[in-house]
Structure 1
Amino acid sequence: MNYIKHLNAAFHKFYGDDRLNYAHLSLYFALFYYWNLHRFPIEFYANRTELMKLAKIGSRSTYHRLIKDLSEWEYIQYLPSQNPSKNTMVVMCQICTSTVTETGQAGTLMERYCPKNVPLTLYIKHSKQYKLSEERKPKNELEVIEYFKSKKWSSLNAVKFFNHYQGVGWKIGGKTKIEDWKAIAANWMLRAEEIKEKPTLQIVAKNKDYLITNEQKNYGEPL
């Protein structure tokens, strides 16, 4: 039994089955894990307590409902035992076994549910996300300098900006990834303008004598 082909075919079957929810899938993979531990026998013992813990199912009624659904929908065969001395067994349906389709074409479910049948929008969305991540930082120092020139900012600030964020891996505070480096560049220039104004304010404050006052105070009074 090729478990990789089995899981690939199962995923494609899950994709087209709107009856399933996350709890069904959780239980199915818990059963698959047990099947794997037993080296893929025709049938194996289903330990309800351990399966519930593995699948994160909180109640017995939910467990029985889910496993009966999987059996009814032909993902597994659930073989409960009314005899306390006999174990409840499960048979995993061979999803990858060769079958004949409605059109008369033979092949496995994996072959019939190939990736080309997946909507193209899934791949387009992934492609857009990838391009966005590439635009979060400039390609090189020259791109930063050209952008600063287009905004009539100094090239020296462009070099300082690039060197600083290149050194910290294009992250804010060393943790958060930059989403838009051009917005960060604008903030960089705002801070640069503030720094220009601060020396003037410091000189005025330095020349001011705060001990000189016109107010008459009695320093003999307690504070």
Structure 2
Amino acid sequence: MNYIKHLTGFFEKVVIDKALNPTHVSLYMALFQFWNCNRFKNPISINRDEVMRISKISSKATYHKCLKNLHSLGYINYEPSYNPFKGSHVILFNFSEDLKPAPKSERKLKYEPLVEPVSVQALNKSCTSSETGTEQAVVPSINYINKINISNDKNVSNLNEQAKKIEEINNSDLKTETEKEKEKKFREKKKEEFIVTSSIVEKPTIEIVKTYFQENNFPELEAQKFFNYFSSVGWLVGGKIPMIDWQAAAQNWIINSVNFNHNTDTTPTNRPKHLNTITDKNYAEPL
């Protein structure tokens, strides 16, 4: 059997038959491959999973439907087997005999070229005659061109809108950064103003400090220590922040000094009893 003529005859039937779809053609080509491996002998035994894998059909319902359609349309003879251990049988018909030889008037010359040179755009011959052609014209219509132009305009407008949105986002980011910088500068300015106003507070003299310590029944020596210490650090608390209320600092000084003196008073009450020995000790005597 000439399989080229067979496939040619099959595809001629496919062109005419409107009941077929690409799934039918794919399934038939898979069956044709099995028939080819069987050296074109009928019937052939098929395996459903193998045929579905080759024809790229993933649904069992679609597979059985297309197989029955090919049987009913006369492309194959399907003999199903309901035995799971025995494959179904399919008989394929030879379509090479259906081809009719072309008449001598339509045959080409021996040395005639197979492809005619085309110098202009190829059109359907039915469109060149005075009658109306049944096929679609090759030249694009004006409506189609207008649709393309409209779609291009829409794409351009969409791109412009996206660019505007990106620009707005960038501007908003810049605004937030400038606002953050302004807030930072404002905080620094407030801090400087606080330091300046704090440093303007009047510093006490040694006489005022002594009077304050005496009013709190505290010796003048501690008043002198308090005044000397904070004068040496520029009346700064912790060496950084200017002192606002020196009287509150003096109260803390008094409280801490009282606790310090109480804690440092570690006079031993029970002294350990040391052993008293002499140099000329007789080690034969008991202790």
Q: Bigger relative contact order, structure 1 or 2, given CA contacts below 8 A and separation 6+? A: 1
TM interval, shorter chain, is 0.3 to 0.5
- Per the normalisation by structure 1, the TM-score is 0.45
Larger radius of gyration: 2
